[in-house]
Amino acid sequence: MSAVVIWHNPRCSKSRETLALLRSRGIEPEIVPYLERPPSAAEIARVLDLLEMEPRALMRRKEAVYRAGGFDDPALSRGALIAAMAETPVLIERPVVLSGGKAALGRPPEAVLSILP
């Protein structure tokens, strides 16, 4: 397994820019196409803890599925939101980079530099 992992969506410009940034630093990360191979609820919960974020901060709130699913309802629990991301990975903001027990959201791409080896 690579020391650096990226949850990647090749159709996303920020994801492509973050991957290019990693490669420009000589890092060939393990690329996880998270829309095809969604992370489990436990993985998402672990990443949220590493990011020190609540679920909605890692959710793509402008996605139609977010609105249609009523995920802005404050009564929804952390577990329910995490389960929704695991079941519908398009809800997950991207890219997420993992390295050395740390995580960073590549928005902007340079934000991942602080966790790199």
pLDDT in tens, 48-70: 999 999 999 999 999 999 999 99
pLDDT category at 2 given cuts 50, 70, 90 is: low
Give the pLDDT confidence of 68-93 residue by residue, as tens digits. 999 999 999 999 999 999 999 999 99
pTM of the full predicted structure? 0.94
pLDDT value at 31 more than 60: yes
What's the Cα-to-Cα distance from 23 to each of 12, 59, 116, rounded to whole Å? 17, 26, 12
Q: Which of 12, 41, 115, 116 is catalytic?
A: 12
* Sheet with 30-32: strands ordered across: 30-32, 4-7, 96-99, 102-105
Domains and CATH numbers, the chain: 4-115 (3.40.30.10)
Residue 31 bears catalytic tag: no
